[in-house]
Chains A and B, each alone.
Chain A
Amino acid sequence: MEPNEIQTALAAAVEEVLETMCFTTVLASAEGAVPPEGDGSAPALNAELHFQGNPSGGFRVGVPMKLARVVGAGFLGREETELSDSQAGEVVCELANMICGTVLSRLESKATFQITHPELTPPEHSVSFEGAGAKRWFDLGEGILTVSLELQQTV
């Protein structure tokens, strides 16, 4: 699996999910953990899941709380101020689930994967992905959404 192929799948999956389900448009995106002009601060909300299949691996979506509320409001059709932190977190978890499923089906359309339930992980408790994979950031205007995909070598 070529790195460019993974980056293309990540970009297409995030745009598809955000536009279809959250009515949010991606303004810019590129390879990497953060944009060059970013402040380098860790996202406030990280949703993480793992998948078993060929290949197996992990997937993480990170967003600042302000952006989680914007995206959550679009998804649930409500005002940002109506959303609790818990509801914003649930939406970020569902985004992680949908984006990961979409990426995997784009990369391995014939394979079957078992995807774990996404869980919110504090940034300081996030496990570093060690395998091969890719990171990409997306500027949504109200903040930066980051995704990380880890692919483990299979025998």
Chain B
Amino acid sequence: MQLHVLIVDDSPAMRSFIRRVLELSGLEVGRCLEASNGEEALRLLEDNWVDAVLTDINMPQMDGEELLRRMSGHEVLHLIPVLVVSTDRTEGRIQKMFTLGAKGYVTKPFAPETLREELEHSLGVVHGTE
């Protein structure tokens, strides 16, 4: 089964890096959408279903925290697992993102296998409980 994902990061370089890691990971990646902030991500999600969202936190216009908040409060979007990919390693921030509904958290820099493992874990949480 193909995995459709949405990558949300204001850095085009980081979006390219994540896309490449996913493609090389062995996961069968189908549609790979990209957004540069939370607002763009929500607009894309209005018309496109994805299996997972990978999002940064610190972004202009709408950050990752607000994106998570909006998705968690949405009748349909709350079903999509969200994996946070951020430079912020502080315990308080990580705990907050999980409280807001994140299913996984990867800190930059990360090894490619770490992203794959955490993404699979995030998807597994959903598959195991739904």
Interface size on B, residues (CB 8 A): 22
Of all chain A residues, which has the CB nearest B112? A20
Apart from A21-B109, A101-B89, A109-B89, what 13 extra A-B contacts exist at CB < 8 Å? A20-B111, A72-B13, A75-B17, A76-B13, A91-B13, A94-B17, A97-B11, A98-B87, A102-B87, A105-B89, A110-B92, A111-B90, A115-B58
The answer to whether A21 touches B108, judged by C-beta atoms less than 8 angstroms apart, is yes
A117 touches which of B60, B90, B108 (Cβ 8 Å): B60
Chain B contacts of A112 at CB under 8 A?
Answer: 88, 90, 92-93
Q: Nearest chain-B residue to A53 (Cβ)?
A: B90
**Assuming A76-B16, A76-B17, is B90 touching A109 (CB within 8 A)?**
yes
Q: Is B124 on the interface with A (CB-CB < 8 A)?
A: no
A: residues with CB less than 8 A from B are: 16-17, 20-21, 72, 75-77, 87, 90-91, 93-94, 97-98, 100-102, 105, 109-115, 117
Which residue among A17, A77, A110 has the maximum number of chain B CB atoms within 10 Å of its CB? Answer: A77
**A-contacting residues of B (Cβ < 8 Å)?**
10-14, 16-17, 20, 58, 60, 86-93, 108-111
With the chains together, A16 CA to B86 CA distance in Å?
Answer: 15
Interface of A is mostly: helix
Q: In the assembled complex, which residues on chain B have CB atoms less than 8 Å from the CB atom of A90?
A: 11-13
A76 to B11, CA, bound (A): 12
Residues of A contacting B10 in the complex (Cβ-Cβ under 8 angstroms): 117
B13 with A87: CB separation less than 8 A: yes
CA distance A81 to B41 in the complex (A): 32
Which B residue sits closest to A86, measured CB to CB?
A: B12
